[in-house]
């Protein structure tokens, strides 16, 4: 892997030196992290003090006046080379102001944008709605709400799949004060198709995404997004699946989100709120379809930053997840049990951060995450402290 990576870097460097139309940039970050040692998915490295790192490389090629090729490569401490973004973009098609891109694209949903990268993100994690793993199990689509360690260990389906990249096609444009976008993609925003085997479409249909935003005045943008599609993979060959021999397109996800960006002077604010519905069906041992309660969730996130000086910035973010009540049979390690209550634990996270801009290229961050879990007998100890340095080039 390291040899392959060095070959790519050498090729990009040689080409960029020979052809000025290729732009190469990147970000690298290293840090120290310590979380408490409670039983929670937010506990990192079992609560042991640990060092962390991340590297992003951006390579953009201008092919002609209105055709570009853009890419983003990422590597973390897992030492796996991730290709997050690889898109062919065509701008101002037929002088209409409409643009299109295809390939591995950035999904037009919400207002996370470039804040998914360490240099633009004043915190360490993404908003809670992009990070939380629900009690809906990714491997069998069963609700392990009474065995929370099943999801805590990393097998739950997210409401929003972190950076939100997927293979597909998108059309977008700006018309006066309005920005509009529409996309068809392999997966859904809870489980983007790029993470499916071979990155292909694991469902019988495509996911659809619509977004519209308005900028009525300088410093204020208001947007709304909607996505719908199948969130379950094809399980025809899995006899243990909750949806054995059922068409995955019968199990859709619908999610709508509103967002606001606001800035004035040295103050900026980003807010998002979303309502998600998973239409959930199951089958018993005789493959008879059983209808279950829809799984609904409300998610919100509000963050603000204020530049005390050109080099010193304070930031705070509050985010939460609220889940609806269901009455259903849910699995346990001892068999099915009748359950009435929330299908996942309500969560709240408060983050505070101090950012020091040592230079234009170097950023230092100190971040504290305060996590609270409700509907449990004892809130787990899972607060996190992070020191991180980020350099851009």
CA angle 344, 346, 350 (to 5 degrees): 140
Predicted confidence band at 175 (pLDDT cuts at 50, 70, 90)?
A: very high
38 pLDDT above the threshold of 80: yes
Quick count: other Cβ atoms within 10 Å of Cβ 287? 11
0.85 surpassed by pTM = yes
Task: Kindly write down the DSSP assignment for every residue of 78-134, as one continuous string.
Answer: T--EEEEEEEEEE-SGGGSSEEEEEEEEE---SS-GGGGSTTT-SSSSPPHHHH-EE
What is the overall mean pLDDT for the chain? Answer: 86
pLDDT of residue 291: 55
Given the structure tokens 């699946």, which residue do they identify?
Answer: 241
**Cβ(74)–Cβ(56) under 8 Å?**
yes
Q: What tokens were used for 36?
A: 């408490």
Predicted confidence band at 271 (pLDDT cuts at 50, 70, 90)?
A: very high
pLDDT (tens digit per residue) in 111-166: 999 999 999 999 999 999 999 999 888 777 788 888 877 766 657 889 998 889 99
Output 232 or 4, whichever has higher pLDDT.
Answer: 232
CA angle 378, 48, 380 (to 5 degrees): 10
Helix or strand run (H / E) with residue 3: helix 2-18
pLDDT of residue 155: 78
Output 141 or 206, whichever has higher pLDDT.
Answer: 206
3 pLDDT above the threshold of 80: no
pLDDT of residue 20: 47
Q: In DSSP terms, which residues pair with 53 in a beta bridge?
A: 30
Contacts of 239 (CB under 8 A, 6+ apart): none
Contacts of 292 (CB under 8 A, 6+ apart): 280, 281, 282, 326, 328
Task: Kindly write down the DSSP assignment for every residue of 237-288, as one continuous string.
Answer: T-TTSTTTT--GGGSEEEEEEEEEEEEETTEEEEEEEEEEEE--EEE-TT--
Where is average pLDDT lowest: 24-33, 144-153, 205-214, 344-353? Answer: 144-153
Helix or strand run (H / E) with residue 222: strand 220-230
pLDDT (tens digit per residue) in 298-311: 999 999 999 999 99
Predicted confidence band at 97 (pLDDT cuts at 50, 70, 90)?
A: confident
SS3 345: coil
- How many residues belong to the chain? 393
Question: How large is the average pLDDT for residues 32-61?
Answer: 92
pLDDT of residue 294: 85
18 pLDDT above the threshold of 80: no
Q: What is the 3-state secondary structure (H, E, C) of 177-219?
A: CEEEEEEEECCECCECHHHCHHHCCCCCCCEEEEEEEEEEECC
Q: Which domains does the chain have, with CATH numbers?
A: 23-392 (2.40.160.10)
pLDDT (tens digit per residue) in 369-387: 999 999 887 888 999 999 9
Q: Give me the percent of the chain exceeding a pLDDT of 70.
A: 85
pLDDT of residue 99: 95
| Range ranked top by mean pLDDT from 6-20, 39-53, 233-247 | 39-53
User: How far apart are the C-alpha atoms of 196 and 22, rounded to whole Å?
Assistant: 31
SS3 232: coil
Strands 252-264 and 267-278: antiparallel
Question: How large is the average pLDDT for residues 199-211?
Answer: 86
Longest Cα separation, the chain: 67
285 pLDDT above the threshold of 50: no
Question: How large is the average pLDDT for residues 13-29?
Answer: 70
Output 154 or 313, whichever has higher pLDDT.
Answer: 313
């Amino acid at each position: 892997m390291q040899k392959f990576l060095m070959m790519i870097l050498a090729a990009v460097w040689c080409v960029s030196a020979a052809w000025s139309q290729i732009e190469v940039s990147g970000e690298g970050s290293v840090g120290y992290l310590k979380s408490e040692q409670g039983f929670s998915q937010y506990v990192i490295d079992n609560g042991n003090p640990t060092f962390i790192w991340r590297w992003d490389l951006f390579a953009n090629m201008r092919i002609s006046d209105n055709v570009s090729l853009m890419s983003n490569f990422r590597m973390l401490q897992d030492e796996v080379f991730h290709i997050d973004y690889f898109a062919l973009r065509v701008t101002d098609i037929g002088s209409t102001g409409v643009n299109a891109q295809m390939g591995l694209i950035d999904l037009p949903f919400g207002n996370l944008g470039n804040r998914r990268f360490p240099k633009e993100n004043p915190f360490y994690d993404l908003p809670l709605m992009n990070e939380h793993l629900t009690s809906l199990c990714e491997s069998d689509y069963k609700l392990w709400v009474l065995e929370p360690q099943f999801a805590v260990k990393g097998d739950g389906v997210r409401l929003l799949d972190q950076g939100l990249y997927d293979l597909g096609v998108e059309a977008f444009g700006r018309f006066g004060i309005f920005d509009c976008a529409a996309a068809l993609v392999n997966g859904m925003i809870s489980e983007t198709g790029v993470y499916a085997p071979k990155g292909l479409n694991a469902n019988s249909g495509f996911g659809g995404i619509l977004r519209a935003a308005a900028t009525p005045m300088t410093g204020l943008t208001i947007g709304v997004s909607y996505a719908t599609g199948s969130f379950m993979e094809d399980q025809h060959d899995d006899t243990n699946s909750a949806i054995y021999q059922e068409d995955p397109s019968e199990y859709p996800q619908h999610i709508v989100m509103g967002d606001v960006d606001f800035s004035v002077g040295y103050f900026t604010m980003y807010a998002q709120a979303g309502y998600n519905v998973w239409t959930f069906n199951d089958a018993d041992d005789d493959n008879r379809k059983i209808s279950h309660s829809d799984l609904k969730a409300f998610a919100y996130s509000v963050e603000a930053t204020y530049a005390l000086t050109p080099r010193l910035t304070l930031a705070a973010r509050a985010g939460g997840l609220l889940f609806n009540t269901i009455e259903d049979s849910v699995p346990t390690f001892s068999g099915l049990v009748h359950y009435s209550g929330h299908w996942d634990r309500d969560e709240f996270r408060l983050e505070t951060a101090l950012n020091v801009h040592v230079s234009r290229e170097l950023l230092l961050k100190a971040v504290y995450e305060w996590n609270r879990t409700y509907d449990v007998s004892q809130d787990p100890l899972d607060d996190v402290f992070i020191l991180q340095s980020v350099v851009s080039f």
